[in-house]
Chains A and B, each alone.
Chain A
Amino acid sequence: MTPVGLGLAALGRPAYINVGRPAELGPDRDVAIMEQRSHRMLDAAYAAGIRYVDVARSYGRAEEFLASWLDARDIGPGAITVGSKWGYRYTGDWRMDGAVQEVKDHSLAMFHRQYAETTALLGTHLGLYQVHSATPESGVLDDRAVLGALAGLRHTGVAVGLTVSGPHQADVVRRALEVDVDGANPFSTVQATWNLLEPSAGAALAAAHERGWGVIVKEVLANGRLTDAAHDPAAGPGARVAERRRASLEQVAFAAALVQPWADVVLSGAVDPGQLDTDLRAVEEASPHPSALGSAPAEDSPLAQEAAGLAAMAEPPGVYWQRRSGLPWH
């Protein structure tokens, strides 16, 4: 699997919480236009060697857009790894002003319904199916019926993972590592938020990696806060490093994630090929072999070393997540 994956969270639906989204996408977000944008991004990512794509039932029509792209480009199962998720239902009804854009439900019924919906679209392309945003409150890691169903899914050849969000990500990852269903843990991957403002899950992700789990990193740009355009005061140290390095803040933030020794895949949430190109240049900055997308990042590359030294940017997890939950859907 390539070290960079493409996430379609921001392209499968008209509204999302990323800072700067109105300027990036403009007002025209009908289904056909967002599908075209998704296909353009998937084309650019595929051409760049990216072979992991991240979607979810709750990302509006992201699974549908991916399925239509796979069909249109005649890409067979196994050519790329597709990871999707169950546990949130999209309720935005393709409206920008929907008061509730997604609703969480980690019940067994929701799993069976959404797995069928996902595989009706993606079928044998689906390589990884994840619990979407497991939290201590959701109780999903203590639900024996759900865990049993996930173990059954694993036996069909689909890898099973979980994604985590919120200030207690690390606790949930550690709890997930201890899950046991008939002597085996159904999970083999975890997807978590890690970025220069919210690195608190790092040690738990390292433990997961050590256990042999695949670790997928999301939100490395902190939903747009770690971009030059956002001018977020909390990103000041990163912006100064970027200026010194003649790089962008995005590249510093992306490289910081890439050089984590436990990070197997870092997701790009780019919505246009230019943004993806910026993210991929971070790979080159972090790699001992520029332009070799599949090569391992170098912890001692100059930019990455500076980014890794920006630990002081970290916000208390509670503060970070409270701010994130206040970001508008737009």
Chain B
Amino acid sequence: MATVKGDRVEVVVDVGDGVQRFDIRATRAGRRVEVASSRGAVEVTEVTRSGRAVRTARFMAARVVAVVEHPAEDAAP
């Protein structure tokens, strides 16, 4: 999976009896959210302007149905 970036990333996970959506947002101005895959997992990382990771959510790649990137321009004014 290619790395994608945005202010908000929505991850849709197959939880067996349906799907569950997880919304990971940049918590401060200037930060962004990146998505990458590693060791059978999809990792969604909030990073600072300088590229430092501050938190990472992790999902089993085999259970991830969709990853939806929401760039900054999606935000309401």
Contact = CB atoms under 8 A, between A and B. Distances in A.
A120 B15 contact: no
A107 B58 contact: no
Interface residues of B, number: 26
Interface string B1-41: 00000000001011111001010100100000000000111
Interface in B31-70: 39-41, 43-45, 53-60, 62-63
A113 B57 contact: no
Contacts, number: 65
B77 to A, nearest CB: 28
A121 B57 contact: yes
Interface in A94-142: 107-113, 115-117, 119-121, 123-124, 126
A70 interface: yes
A153 B60 contact: yes
Contacts of B63: 112, 116
Contacts of B44: 123
Given A116-B63, A120-B57, A153-B60, A107 B24 contact: no
Contact of A156 (B11, B17, B40, B56): B40
Interface residues of A, number: 27
Task: Tell me the dominant secondary structure on chain B's binding face.
Answer: strand
Given A152-B40, A152-B62, A112 B56 contact: no
A290 interface: no
Contacts of A71: 27, 54-55
B24 A120 contact: yes
Interface string A70-93: 110010110000000000000000
A307 to B, nearest CB: 41
Given A70-B55, A124-B56, A157 B39 contact: yes
Contacts of B62: 152
A175 to B, nearest CB: 24
A131 B11 CA distance: 24
Interface string A253-272: 00000000000000000000
Given A108-B16, A112-B16, 4 more contacts: A107-B16, A110-B16, A113-B20, A155-B39
Interface of A: 67, 70-71, 74, 76-77, 107-113, 115-117, 119-121, 123-124, 126, 152-153, 155-157
Interface of B: 11, 13-17, 20, 22, 24, 27, 39-41, 43-45, 53-60, 62-63
7 contacts: A76-B53, A112-B16, A116-B60, A116-B63, A120-B59, A123-B57, A126-B58
